[in-house]
Amino acid sequence: MSLTHASRHTRLLALLTVLVAVLGLALIALPAAPARADTTCAAPWSSTVAYTGNQVASYNGDNWSAKWWTQGDIPGNNSQDVWVDQGACTAGGGGGTTGGFVVSEAQFDQIFPNRNSFYTYDGLVAALSAYPGFATTGSTATQQQEAAAFLANVDHETGGLVYIREIDQSGDYCASESYGCPAGTYSYYGRGPLQISWNFNYYAAGNALGIDLLDNPDLAATDSATSWETALWYWMTQNGPGTMTAHDAMVNGAGFGQTIWAINGSVECNGGNTGEMQDRVNDYESITGVLGVDPGGNLTC
């Protein structure tokens, strides 16, 4: 009897010891770290796209930020050390199209079937990181309307993304400014998707984008991403002869007509050139049709 009792007592002590150990581990265990909020992947890195400082591209599940101008250097696998790893990212956002842009590459090709090969979809998507508010503000419909409005004006300015440089390059777009026209008096004609012109626009765009466009205006006609960036710079930050930027016009409900004011003002609006104005409107309605979104109101100016 005494041996059996001792044996049971020993087993009970052993069991209690194990329970205490388990409970102790549970008490000292650190709480699980909260789940990290997912970061949406930027547009995929492309060897054919030239990236400028602070532009972001995704590669192998991470977002990468360029330190300076680079092309062909693979993020995380180059001797130039031009990319900074910003951490893991997840696909998605912005309507589920490439890089979060609300216009897919297939739709882009449909809108511009005869475009110059210079104007690449990858170049446009790469340029989006310079102005992340573009076509990402408001509802999905608003985002699609802004993208359509931008591309409609681009279509009009470039003849369907055919022309890179202005056809007539004889104009004097050298305004009297302290920084002058170092590239030459007649060097600041229209270039790129929105055909930016004048030395003061090249100067301001270059400062905003970290590119010397005042001394090298033709960068807007020789590098696809830079060319798209100049157009986005104007769209997002300049109201031109209008009262608001084209971006604000679309996201605040002022309508497509106000984007024409921002780009060409009374040259086309208020009866200046009804035919040219209507061509922009027709382009906009066509592109909203491709994207499957209502064009909204206030289309003319």
Full-model pTM: 0.69
* Residue 36 belongs to domain with CATH number: 2.10.10.20
Q: Say which of 105, 146, 157, 268 is annotated catalytic.
A: 157
Residue range of the domain that includes 35: 31-91
42 occurs within a structural domain? yes
Q: What are the backbone dihedrals phi and psi of residue 83, each rounded to the nearest 5 degrees, phi first?
A: -115, 140
Q: How far apart are CA 45 and CA 86, in angstroms?
A: 14
Burial classification of residue 68, based on how many CB atoms lie within 10 Å of its CB (0-12 exposed, 13-18 middle, 19 or more buried): exposed
Q: What are the backbone dihedrals phi and psi of residue 237, each rounded to the nearest 5 degrees, phi first?
A: -125, -15
pLDDT of residue 117: 95
pLDDT of residue 49: 65
pLDDT of residue 56: 83
Number of separate domains in the chain: 1
- pLDDT tens-digit readout, 253-273: 999 999 999 999 999 999 999
From first to last of the 301 residues of the chain, give the pLDDT tens digit. 333 444 444 444 444 454 444 444 333 333 333 333 457 767 665 555 677 788 887 665 678 888 887 876 777 765 568 888 888 876 443 333 444 799 999 999 999 999 999 999 999 999 999 999 999 999 999 999 999 999 999 999 999 999 999 999 999 999 999 999 999 999 999 999 999 999 999 999 999 999 999 999 999 999 999 999 999 999 999 999 999 999 999 999 999 999 999 999 999 999 999 999 999 999 999 999 999 999 999 999 9
pLDDT of residue 277: 97
pLDDT of residue 85: 85
75 occurs within a structural domain? yes
Which amino acid, 54?
N
Give CA torsion, residues 115, 121, 127, 133, to 10 deg.
Answer: 100
290 occurs within a structural domain? no
Question: What are the CA-CA distances from residue 69 to residues 72, 81, 127, 221 (Å)?
Answer: 11, 12, 13, 16
189 occurs within a structural domain? no
47 occurs within a structural domain? yes
293 occurs within a structural domain? no
pLDDT of residue 23: 41
12 occurs within a structural domain? no
pLDDT of residue 63: 82
Which amino acid, 131?
Y
DSSP for 116-155 reads: -TTS-HHHHHHHGGGSTTTTTSSSHHHHHHHHHHHHHHHH
45 occurs within a structural domain? yes
> Is 146 among the residues known to form the active site?
no
pLDDT of residue 111: 97
Q: Of 162, 204, 193, 203, which is closest to residue 263 (Cα–Cα)?
A: 193
